[in-house]
Amino acid sequence: MADLSTDFAGIKSPNPFWLASGPPTNTAGQVMRAFDCGWGGAVWKTVGEPIINTGSRYGGIDLGSQKLMGFNNIELISDRPIEDNLREIAEVKKRYPKNAVIVSLMVESRRETWHEMVKRTEDSGCDGLELNFGCPHGMSERGMGAAVGQVPEYTAMITEWVREVARTPVIVKLTPNISDITKIAAAAEKGGAHGISLINTINSLMSVDLDTFAPRPTVRGKSSHGGYCGPAVKPIALHMVSACAKRVKIPISGIGGIGTWPDAAEFVALGASSLQVCTAVMHYGFRIVEDLIDGLNDYLDSKGFADLSHLRGRAIENVADWGDLDLNYKIIADIKPDLCIGCHLCYVACEDGAHQCIEEFPIGPSALQLGMFGKTNGDKARVPRIIENECVGCNLCALVCPVHGCITMKHVETGNPIMSWNDRMRHQRQEAGVGQTPSLWESAQ
């Protein structure tokens, strides 16, 4: 059994799975039930001056019969009085001393207000603070949340204010609604943050009711942009986590579309030290943590990793600039005829959507007459053929193929040396001689 225990900038938890700040961490009752289910920690739903919420608040996007591929919300921070939240936090911490309780905070951007809030909060006995500089909706219009997190100077300054009085570790939660998130990560680090967490939700408008023309989630016929999350945002989060991991030295709490243990392991491999989950719990409940822990544990064991430190950051060095990728690396698609069911999705995808490197097997007037379908006939007449000398190795056919393992990409040895775009450019410059003026872009670099 691998050791999943986690120390995130001094915040200790029995495993890396924390509930992210949100509806699942709104009350002591929820957080205690979550800890009973096995969650390692919880980031309490953002505490601040209580707000008033709308009905409705959440929107979803489905894919086929799969519900909530993406999810959004226009819910604001806690609508409960600060003292109620702090009293409950103290109670939870007393009853669950081994679990991490981090309190998400958001108040007006005024030094004294932050000082007072930090002191009151830490009196509850919490293990750490998470500064919510990320919420994209509602609060940002009032100069809080993402309004702070989109300006490096504000981020650094408020982090400094908090550090002036904080006795527990301070995590800054980052918004993805910015062109370069690493600038904010660096600002947080500069301001003295002990760690960062990302990503917060992405600005979004879920959908439009085509009868009433009300956007969703609808509040008396109107809506507002809300925060997008759920499985669909994971690739965006992975990119941003890896980019921050390369830029800052402080630990990262990974957030964004985590719902399964492979999701979690990928975040860790790209540098995350703890993992925060919200949407998946909103969809399926606290019980999902059982498989998160179980699956991650078995995975670490299978790799011979004694603990998460062996996995952490393992993939970062493989996140390269495009210019450093090997242009001479050749792969081509390979269809396993015995697995092919003859749907021709690879054919049409390649023909219409990619590079015309697959041909349909010629087929007669009626599949029925020829008995040309199904495995029952042992018939392979509908297996398309890869035109190997045309195949560019783009992956599209393998991605659309509905049968697991039917289309794989095989490596073809060309004998050519590794050659990246940057190698080529260097080479060309050498050949052109020293006199050539660099392009505007090259000068800027």
Partner 1 sequence: MRNLPPKLSAEQYEQNFADISPRFTRQQALIEASRCLYCFDAPCTKACPTSIDVPSFIKKITTGNLKGSARVILSANILGESCGRVCPTEVLCEGACVMNGSGEKPIEIGRLQRYAVDYALDHNFRLFAAGKPNGHRVACVGSGPASLACAAELAKLGYGVEIYDRNPMPGGLNTYGIAAYKTRASDSLREVKLVEDLGVKFHQGVEVGKDIALAELEQKFDAIFLAVGLGETWDLNLPGEDLDDVYGALEFIEWTKIERFENIDIGKRVAVIGAGNTAIDCVTAARRLNAETVYLIYRRDKESMPAFQYEYELAQKDGVIFLWNTQPLRILGRGESVLGLECVKTKMVGKGRAARVEIVAGSEFTIEVDMVVKALGQQPAMDLVKSIEGLELKAGHVVVNPQTHQTGNPKYFAGGDCVNGGKEVVDAVAEGMAAARGIHKAVGNRQ
Tell me how far apart the alpha carbons of residues 42 and 22 are, in angstroms, rounded to a whole number.
10
> How many C-beta atoms lie closer than 10 Å to residue 346's C-beta?
26
77 versus 401: smaller Cβ distance to partner 1: 401
Terminal Cα distance for the chain, rounded: 47
251 versus 384: smaller Cβ distance to partner 1: 384
Q: Which two tokens stand for residue 78?
A: 């806690």
Least separation in angstroms between CB 380 and partner 1: 10
Beta bridge partners, 412, equal: 330
Binding footprint of partner 1 on the chain (CB under 8 A): 64-65, 339-345, 347-348, 360, 363, 366-368, 372-376, 382, 402-403
350 is catalytic: no
Q: Which two tokens stand for residue 343?
A: 């749907």
Tell me how far apart the alpha carbons of residues 359 and 48 are, in angstroms, rounded to a whole number.
62
- Check the CA dihedral 44-147-233-58 and report its sign: positive
Least separation in angstroms between CB 59 and partner 1: 18
Q: To 10 degrees, the CA torsion angle through 432, 437, 440, 445?
A: 80
Q: What is the 3-state secondary structure (H, E, C) of 75-131?
A: CCCCCCCHHHHHHHHHHHHHHCCCCEEEEEECCCCCHHHHHHHHHHHHCCCCCEEEE
Residue 72 belongs to what H/E stretch?
strand 66-73
Q: Is the peptide bond before 202 cis (omega within 30 degrees of 0)?
A: no
59 versus 176: smaller Cβ distance to partner 1: 59
SS3 at position 414: coil
243 versus 340: smaller Cβ distance to partner 1: 340
> How many C-beta atoms lie closer than 10 Å to residue 174's C-beta?
30
Tell me how far apart the alpha carbons of residues 189 and 85 are, in angstroms, rounded to a whole number.
28
Contacts of 264 by beta carbon, 8 Å cutoff, 6+ apart: 16, 17, 254, 258, 275, 292, 296
174 versus 340: smaller Cβ distance to partner 1: 340
CA angle 129–131–132, rounded 5-degree value:
135
Least separation in angstroms between CB 64 and partner 1: 4
Least separation in angstroms between CB 379 and partner 1: 9
Least separation in angstroms between CB 341 and partner 1: 3
Backbone Cα Rg of the chain: 26
Least separation in angstroms between CB 393 and partner 1: 22
Given the residues 37, 126, 135, 350, the one annotated as active site: 135
Least separation in angstroms between CB 362 and partner 1: 11
Tell me how far apart the alpha carbons of residues 142 and 167 are, in angstroms, rounded to a whole number.
28
Contacts of 444 by beta carbon, 8 Å cutoff, 6+ apart: none
82 versus 348: smaller Cβ distance to partner 1: 348
Least separation in angstroms between CB 218 and partner 1: 19
66 versus 437: smaller Cβ distance to partner 1: 66
Contacts of 388 by beta carbon, 8 Å cutoff, 6+ apart: 332
Residue 65 belongs to what H/E stretch?
none
323 versus 371: smaller Cβ distance to partner 1: 371
Tell me how far apart the alpha carbons of residues 56 and 175 are, in angstroms, rounded to a whole number.
23
Tell me how far apart the alpha carbons of residues 218 and 226 are, in angstroms, rounded to a whole number.
11
The residues that are catalytic are: 135
